[in-house]
Each structure stands twice: as structure tokens, then as C-alpha cells.
Amino acid sequence: MKILVCISHVPDTTSKINFTEDDSKFDTNGVQFVINPNDEFGLTRAMWLKEKQSANVTVVNVGGAETEPTLRKALAIGADAAIRVNTPATESFSVAKQLANVVKDGEYDLVIAGRESIDYNGGMVPGMIAGLTNANFVNNCIGLEVDGNSATATREIDGGKETLSTSLPLIIGGQKGLVDESELRIPNMRGIMMARKKPLTIVEPIESNQETTSIKFEKPAAKGAVKLVSEDNLDELINLLHNEAKVI
């Protein structure tokens, strides 16, 4: 079984975010980048399938040379090979189109993508890949078993979860729950050394129109000052809640 895991190169959630050029561009200076958490759950599940079913696992990313350390980390975790599509990840449709081309060329049985990336939170790429490749698709996936050419997937729905049976080829949008957080893997020294010898192929992008453009970014409003009310002064508390906060 051939598995392709889509990897997004995203800022660490602890990074301080700033913008440049009149808030129209993301400032990458001083920002630490990591594997997108939803993709990391998917990569860990792919490692499980590799060990249980001798699957071959390739990771892929759309981005410039600056994303290669993230791909190397995925190789150190245990992926067999990596592909970098040599173009910036500017918007969802163009990224999905590049990834769909990789999927078609590689004839992968299973494509695992994160439900969404934690930077733009678009949540569109996995479904678009499925549409462009005419593959079965399960989003919000929190469980996956593969038996031959068949798969059983569990997805999160409003108020519960749903278990589905489908066939390969299959695209999933994975998330927390696909594996337990305790199962996430940290590269060890042996894995890091081996990753240096694993193939990282750079492919040129296919022609694709950019359907959307980010015009401006805006930070959330700063938190307002906190007012402390004495526990003995309930009248003042009620007055503030009613007339200032307007929640009662």
C-alpha cells in the first residue's frame, strides 16, 4: 500500500505573530515553524500502517526551500521519502491542485491530510484533492483501519461520531483522535541520521491560477481591563453586568 501524507509548514502556536507591508504580509522573522498538528496525527497513523501492513509512506509539502527542515523531521519520524512542490503555498485551491497532481502521478492508495492547517484554518484542501482526483473522501477523521482494498473510517459529526466503510483510493482529513497524543513520535538520533539519506525530491509546479488573495491581516483586539468587585458588593456587580457588560 502506498500512502501519501500531506504536511503543512506552519508557525508554532507559541510564536509571536506580526505583519508587514501595511498588514498585508505575514512576517516570518523570528518565527519557529513546525509540522501542522493535524498532519502530525495523520503521519503517526501512517507510521502505524507502515509497521502493521508494510506500507510505503511518502510525505509531501507545497512550499519553498524553507519548508525542507519540516519535511526532514517527517522523514526522521519514519517516512520513507519526501516530495516538495517548489512553489509558495499561497491559497487553498492552488495548493490542492499541486497536491492532486502529485497524487495522480504517484498512484497512491491512501492520502492523509490534516483537516485544516493551524495558520489559515481554511479546511478546504483535503476535500479539493478528493474532488480533483475523483477519490473517496472522509473529513474530520478520528479513526482509520485498512484491510486490503477496503477501509473503515470514523469521523466526528455534530453530537457524536459516525463509522463508514469505503474503498481505496481514499483521501482523509485527519485530526486529533486519529491517534492518541501519547502516540505522537519525537525523532530520535538514529531517525535524524537516517533522514539525511532518504530521498527528498523537488518537483516543479504545474500551471495553476490563484483564485483568492489575502488583502489584509488583523490581530484580535487586546483584552480589556479587568474590574474586580468585592464579594460583599453584589449590587455593584449586578449593576456592571446589567449596564456595562449588558449580559443580563
Cβ count within 10 A of residue 120: 16
Cβ count within 10 A of residue 90: 15
Dist CA 32 CA 95 (whole Å): 22
pLDDT at 127: 96
Q: Which three cell numbers stand for residue 15?
A: 510564536
pLDDT at 7: 96
- Yes or no: say if 237 and 229 are a contact pair by the CB < 8 Å rule: yes
DSSP letter for each residue of 191-241: HHHHHTTS-EEEEPPPP-----------PPPPPPPPPP--TT-HHHHHHII
Q: pLDDT band for position 26 (50/70/90)?
A: confident
- Omega before residue 205 within 30° of 0, cis: no
Dist CA 34 CA 187 (whole Å): 13
pLDDT, one tens digit per residue, over 139-173 is: 999 999 999 999 999 999 999 999 999 999 999 99
Containing 34, the helix (H) or strand (E) segment is strand 33-35
Contacts of 241 (CB under 8 A, 6+ apart): 247, 248
Containing 192, the helix (H) or strand (E) segment is helix 189-195
- Beta bridge mates, 195: none
Q: pLDDT band for position 246 (50/70/90)?
A: confident
- pTM to 2 decimals? 0.87
Q: Which three cell numbers stand for residue 137?
A: 473522501
Residue ranges and CATH numbers for the domains of the chain are 2-217 (3.40.50.620)
